[in-house]
Amino acid sequence: MPDREDTLRQSSQRAAQTDPARKRKRKRKTQSMREPIRLSDHFTCRRLLRFTLPSIVMMIFTSIYGVVDGFFVSNFVGKTPFAAVNFIMPFLIILGAVGFMFGTGGSALVAKTLGEGDKEKAGRLFSLIVYVSLGCGVLLSLAGLFLLRPIASALGAEGEMLENCVTYGRIILFALPAYLLQYEFQSFFITAEKPHLGLVVTVAAGVTNILLDALLVAVFPFGLAGAAAATAISQTVGGIVPLFYFLLPNKSLLRLGKTGFDGRAILKTCTNGSSELMSNISMSLVSMLYNAQLLLYAGENGVAAYGVLMYVSMIFSAAFIGYSIGTAPIIGYCFGAKNDSELRGLLKKSLLIIGVFSLGMLALSELLAHPLSLLFVGYDEELLALTRRGFFLYSFSFLFAGFAIFSSSFFTALNDGLISALISFLRTLVFQVAAVLLLPLIWKIDGIWISIVAAELMAFLTSFFFLFLMRKKYRYGTPLILRKK
């Protein structure tokens, strides 16, 4: 039998032989993690999540703008200004949604052009879309300044709430052109294969908003105007910094430069992005309707409670939107390159990932219902109870929302703006309007919270219908996750 010394020597030799192999394996894995991901790559679930994570975090940080404003306004300014911010926000979102339209629709067109191998044309299209959207932002800002008061008044705001709506809205509108660019560049950073840069810019804008809110609202007594200024400045950071990046020489696939007007390309961009525009406009119109119903059934407390739910919903929906934005250029590239097998795999993996996300969000929302309600409206016992009840019912909508959001984005990436817009139109307007008008007649205030769940369920079924219907036209096969090839 070998003695103890021989045994130790043999073990040491084996370790010496295996350690280099282990080191080489770890080194290859580290190098793989550091390598930039290209739109033309093959995507596993892990690689897909790695590529889309910056987009997800980016959209969550963008949604935090309103949440931070709401927290500081609610706790340091008062309940009526807090309700006013929630009341006028849908109108401001409608104007800002134009940036989403140009970003998602334009990035789909540019990604498809890159997939076809025409990088020079892709650069001209990118420049044209950015310049046109910037001009639209200036015009919308001027129009919004004139329409702000009459629209707030027509929606039912009066007295102190009306004046608060005007104060907050006017300051935000001055930054609207930059806000449009921020939304737009969130998509184009991904198409340029620089999602991490988009994340850095968005985090910088988000941190700017948080710090300025704390300074202008909690430290200095600028109140509602201070909260609006903090958001406007942060939006300017988020829009102008990427503008300079793409104007200067860079290592991405895209750069702003000379271009010529192409009406057909602009029309295609608007058509592609019409679903995102429709989604944001419809959600804003529906939010106005929700506010009107809540004023009727629960008064000012109902509007404030709905505001808290909207903040959480914005963050959770932002994760789905971020994932959809992150995958859209890959889908558009594969479609342009006619890589059917990769397109099929992207769809199946995405449906699986969104399903897992949805279950996690439902569990998280139920877990955080009380602490988040306490954080925003803990100063009012009646309002706290109303908000907690709304949280419990509303959170079930997260089970279905992600599938419709992704499906709409999927068809946008395939340059099928019609199907994409139809899914968004049904999800964000038709189903929700019908639900919020009918269900409160049966269940009163609970019917308003349940309305969103019913609407998202219908949108979920509609999305899978269209995915199945169009499977042969776009050659991605049936969208069933467990289907064997």
Total-model pTM: 0.70
Report the distance separating Cα 426 and Cα 432, nearest Å: 8
Q: Is 37 helix (H, G, I), strand (E, B) or coil?
A: coil
Identify the pLDDT of residue 359: 93
- Where in the chain are the domains? 39-469
Q: Is 73 helix (H, G, I), strand (E, B) or coil?
A: helix
* Burial 274-298, CB ≥16 within 10 A → b, else e: bbbbbbbbbbbbbbbbbbebbbeeb
Q: Which two tokens stand for residue 322?
A: 């971020």
Identify the pLDDT of residue 13: 55
**DSSP string for residues in 325-363:** HHHHHHHHHHHHTT-HHHHHHHHHHHHHHHHHHHHHHHH
Residues 6+ away with beta carbon under 8 Å from 168: 81, 84, 85, 88, 224, 225, 227, 228
Q: Which two tokens stand for residue 342?
A: 């990769």
Integer CA distances (angstroms), 191 to 39, 112, 151, in order: 8, 10, 37
Report the distance separating Cα 238 and Cα 176, nearest Å: 11
47 near 37, Cβ under 8 Å?
yes
Which residue type is seen at 461?
Answer: L
- Give the pLDDT of the chain (485 residues) as one tens digit per residue: 445 555 545 555 555 555 555 555 555 444 444 567 777 788 888 988 888 888 888 778 777 766 777 778 877 887 778 778 877 877 887 787 787 788 878 888 888 888 888 888 888 998 999 999 899 889 999 988 998 898 888 877 778 888 888 898 999 999 999 988 888 888 888 888 887 888 888 888 888 888 998 899 888 888 888 888 998 998 899 899 999 999 988 888 888 888 888 888 888 888 877 766 777 777 777 777 887 787 777 776 777 777 777 777 777 888 898 899 888 888 988 888 888 888 899 999 999 999 999 999 889 888 887 887 787 776 677 778 888 888 888 889 999 999 999 998 899 888 887 898 889 888 888 898 899 889 988 888 888 888 889 999 999 999 999 999 998 888 887 544 444 44
413 near 108, Cβ under 8 Å?
yes
Sign of CA dihedral 280, 238, 187, 353: negative
454 near 439, Cβ under 8 Å?
yes
